[in-house]
């Protein structure tokens, strides 16, 4: 199975060979597609790995196109969880794999792996495994097992005294122990893995590119700014969310209006200031505010991938409404995080406690899905900015992080800008490189800045052009810095 770009490159090579009989060198291919040599080398390596090209000693330029007869078609039956078992999914499509990977007379099928529990065996999220159908297994073999007749999982098989152990190949994960009474059926043993490093990246970038057409389909929506891996829309988020493809987004971070701009006052930098943040933050009454939260949360659930997660941030003015709507819509709440702000503004009235935290709810789209949680990075990463996080201990659900530093506001302020340290934590916890993140209330695009910095794709939406202009300034500075960094390396 090829990505769009891989197929274009293969077709181009075939055309060149057909026309002139000569295999184009990387430089020629790069020039044709406007890609650098290293990217072309990567695509060629993948085409070789997938069996569409092969290295040949006899051939003038050392690479050969594989005849289609050296490929064999097998069914790709769906996805398999390399984590907690998921409901067995049967969703057949046909893929071509190199013949030499399949033993003759074996019944073989393919599954795409989701999750990280086999990483120590070099089976990664997005890879395709080739599975030989059989109903028995020997200790230590990697098996596809059907547990309790409906949940499929990929694990190493061990028959112990009185029980069966399904062992993940990831030292941070616990085995599944099946004692008397629990049903397990071996569905096959793993023969080989087809590395598909481009899968997550390409899926994300295909979706990312497909959103370009949104502006043509919907005249209310407008692409405001578009660069590789970073796109902004000036629109009501409900319009854009409804146009994004279903099951296409890995993570949503949303910091919706708090609906608290009701004429109150607070203290900022020692001065009394209004809490009014703008028209967008005014309440339209309890019912209308709730209906709006329900609608955008529903739209996000449609676009999230089955394993995708959503973060929503807010104070008591909005977060309980969002929490109610999340549950009404069938999301499964994973955590609520208390973001403690050690430098919060004092309370002027002296009649109640000083508000010094926000709540973030983290939810997955479905209870059964295996969401991404980069446990190790959270436990062992460098989180020295947070004096509640002890090095090497599990990360807890109370985070002590200051409000944005002056340098984060050097291009101007958004009235409710989030600190980069907060977004860094969410993005690194719940996504992987190449994933696609959407922020429906992007403001100054703190989410986008962190997503881009860490190799994720980003789509941000906001109704106010002044906030998108601020986002662009932040993005362009980051982009310049990243390019300079690589150029000077
Ligand atoms: C709480 S702020 C987000 C701030 C952002 N997290 C940051 O770090 O800059 C909410 C943003 O949502 C925008 N907004 C309000 N209603 C919207 C809607 N219906 N669709 C899209 N954006 C909206 C506002 O203009 C505002 O910038």
Those residues with Cβ within 8 angstroms of residue 222's Cβ, 6 or more apart along the chain or in another chain: 215, 233, 234, 235
Q: Is 362 helix (H, G, I), strand (E, B) or coil?
A: strand
Same domain, 217 and 191: no
What is the sign, positive or negative, of the torsion defined by CA atoms of 213, 214, 218, 222?
negative
Centroid of ligand 1 to alpha carbon of 194 (angstroms): 42
Q: Is any ligand 1 atom within 6 A of the Cβ of residue 374?
A: no
CATH code for the domain of 273: 3.40.50.150
At residue 89 the predicted structure's pLDDT band, cuts being 50, 70 and 90, is very low
pLDDT at 358: 97
User: For residues 300 and 358, what is the distance between their CA atoms, to the nearest angstrom?
Assistant: 21
How many alpha carbons fall within 13 Å on the CB side of residue 435? Answer: 26
Residues 41 and 149 in one domain: no
Residues belonging to the active site:
117, 155
Which of 151, 163, 156, 154 has its CA nearest to residue 140? 156
Same domain flag for 277 and 402:
yes
pLDDT tens per residue across span 120-130: 888 877 778 89
Q: How many residues does the chain have?
A: 489
State the first-to-last Cα distance of the chain, in angstroms, to the nearest integer: 35
CB of 414 sitting under 6 A from ligand 1: yes
Q: At what angle do helices 420-430 and 446-453 cross, to 10 degrees?
A: 50
Q: What are phi and psi of 281, to 5 degrees?
A: -105, 5
Distance CA 327, CA 25 (A): 56
Same domain, 371 and 448: yes
Give the mutation target among 462, 464, 466, 469 for probing the ligand 1 site: most ligand atoms within 8 A of CB. 462
| Distance (Å) from CA 309 to ligand 1 centroid | 19
Domain C-terminal end among 162, 195, 228? 195
d(CA 280, ligand 1 centre) in Å: 8
Find out whether the beta carbon of 403 lies less than 6 Å from any atom of ligand 1.
no
Q: Are 258 and 386 within one domain?
A: yes
Residue with tokens 């040949």: 56
Nearest atom in ligand 1 to the alpha carbon of residue 443 is 27
Asked if residue 475 and residue 349 are part of one domain, the reply reads yes
Angle made by CA atoms 405, 463, 308, in degrees to the nearest 5: 75
Verify whether ligand 1 is closer than 6 Å to residue 39 (CB atom).
no
The domain of 409 spans 199-487
The Cβ-side half-sphere exposure at 109, using a 13 Å CA radius, reads 18
Q: State whether 191 and 219 are in the same domain.
A: no
Last residue of a domain, one of 195, 220, 254: 195
- Mean pLDDT, to the nearest integer, of 445-453? 96
- Alpha-helical regions (H) of 381-464: 420-430, 446-453
Q: How far apart are CA 196 and CA 300, in angstroms?
A: 27
Best residue among 318, 441, 444 to mutate for probing ligand 1's pocket (most ligand atoms within 8 Å of CB) is 441
Range of weakest confidence among 3-12, 59-68, 86-95: 86-95
The CATH number for 191's domain is 2.10.109.10
pLDDT in tens, 169-201: 887 788 889 887 778 889 899 998 876 544 444
pLDDT of 107 > 50? The answer is: yes
- Distance of CA 69 to CAs 13, 65, 96, 109, 407, Å? 18, 11, 10, 18, 60
Q: Are residues 164 and 246 in the same domain?
A: no
Q: Strand, coil or helix: what is 487?
A: helix
Please check the confidence at residue 338 and state whether its pLDDT lies above 70. yes
User: What pTM, to 2 d.p., does this model score?
Assistant: 0.62
Nearest Cα residue to 295 out of 440, 427, 438, 446: 440
Evaluate whether 435 touches 250 at the Cβ level (below 8 Å). Answer: yes
If asked whether residues 304 and 271 sit together in one domain, one would say: yes
Would you state the pLDDT for residue 213? 46
> What CATH number is given to the structural domain containing 30?
1.10.10.10
Structure token digits, residue 465: 């052009």
Mean pLDDT (whole number) for 421-443 = 96
Instruction: Name which residue sits closest to atom 16 of ligand 1, judged by CA.
Output: 280
Q: Are residues 150 and 204 in the same domain?
A: no
Q: Quote the ligand 1 centre to 273 CA distance (angstroms).
A: 21
- The residue among 42, 66, 90 that closes a domain is 66
pLDDT digits (tens, 9 = 90+) for 191-239: 988 765 444 444 566 566 655 445 444 444 478 999 989 999 999 999 9
The tally of domains found in the chain comes to 3
Q: Are residues 364 and 454 in the same domain?
A: yes
What is the distance in A from the centroid of ligand 1 to the CA of 346?
Answer: 25
Is 218 found in the same domain as 121?
Answer: no
């Amino acid at each position: 199975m090829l990505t769009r770009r891989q197929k274009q490159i293969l077709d181009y090579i075939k055309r060149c060979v057909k026309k002139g009989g000569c295999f184009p060198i990387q430089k020629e291919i790069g020039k044709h597609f406007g890609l650098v040599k290293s990217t072309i080398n990567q695509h060629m390596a993948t085409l070789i790995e997938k069996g569409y090209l092969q290295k040949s000693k006899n051939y003038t330029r050392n690479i050969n196109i594989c005849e289609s007869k050296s490929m064999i078609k097998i069914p790709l039956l769906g996805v398999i969880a390399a984590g907690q078992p998921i409901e067995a999914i049967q969703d057949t499509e046909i893929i071509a794999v190199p013949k030499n990977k399949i033993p003759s007379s074996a019944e073989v099928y393919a599954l795409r792996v989701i999750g990280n529990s086999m990483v120590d065996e070099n089976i990664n999220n997005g890879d395709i495994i080739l599975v030989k159908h059989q109903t028995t297994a020997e200790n230590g073999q990697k098996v596809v097992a059907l547990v309790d007749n409906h949940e499929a999982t990929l694990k190493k098989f061990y028959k112990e005294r009185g029980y069966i152990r399904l062992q993940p190949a990831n030292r941070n994960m616990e085995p599944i122990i099946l004692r008397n009474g629990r049903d397990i059926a071996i569905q096959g043993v793993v023969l080989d893995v087809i590395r598909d490093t481009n899968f997550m990246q390409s899926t994300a970038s295909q979706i990312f590119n497909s959103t370009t057409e949104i502006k043509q389909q919907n005249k209310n929506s407008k692409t405001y700014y578009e660069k590789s891996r970073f796109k902004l829309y000036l629109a009501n988020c409900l319009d854009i969310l409804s146009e994004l493809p279903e099951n296409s987004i890995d993570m949503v971070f949303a910091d919706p209006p708090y609906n608290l701009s009701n004429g109150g006052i607070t203290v900022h930098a020692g001065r009394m200031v209004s809490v009014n943040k703008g028209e967008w933050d005014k309440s339209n009454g309890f019912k209308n505010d709730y209906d709006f939260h329900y609608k955008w949360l529903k739209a996000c659930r449609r676009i999230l991938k089955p394993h995708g997660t959503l973060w929503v941030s807010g104070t008591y003015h909005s977060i309980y409404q969002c929490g109610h709507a999340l549950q009404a819509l069938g999301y499964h709440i994973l955590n609520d995080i208390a973001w403690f702000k050690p430098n919060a503004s004092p309370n002027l009235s002296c009649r109640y406690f000083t508000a010094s935290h926000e709540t973030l709810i983290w939810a997955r789209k479905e209870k059964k899905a295996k969401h991404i949680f980069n446990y190790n990075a959270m436990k062992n990463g460098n989180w020295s900015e947070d004096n509640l996080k002890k090095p090497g201990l599990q990360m807890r659900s109370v985070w002590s992080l200051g409000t944005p530093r002056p340098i984060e506001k050097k291009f101007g302020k958004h009235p409710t800008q989030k600190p980069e340290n907060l977004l860094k934590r969410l993005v690194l916890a719940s996504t992987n490189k190449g994933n696609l993140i959407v922020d429906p209330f992007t403001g100054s695009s703190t989410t986008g800045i962190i997503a881009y910095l860490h190799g994720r794709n980003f789509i941000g939406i906001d109704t106010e052009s002044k906030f998108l202009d601020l986002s662009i300034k932040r993005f362009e500075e980051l982009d310049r810095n990243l390019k300079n960094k690589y150029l000077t390396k």
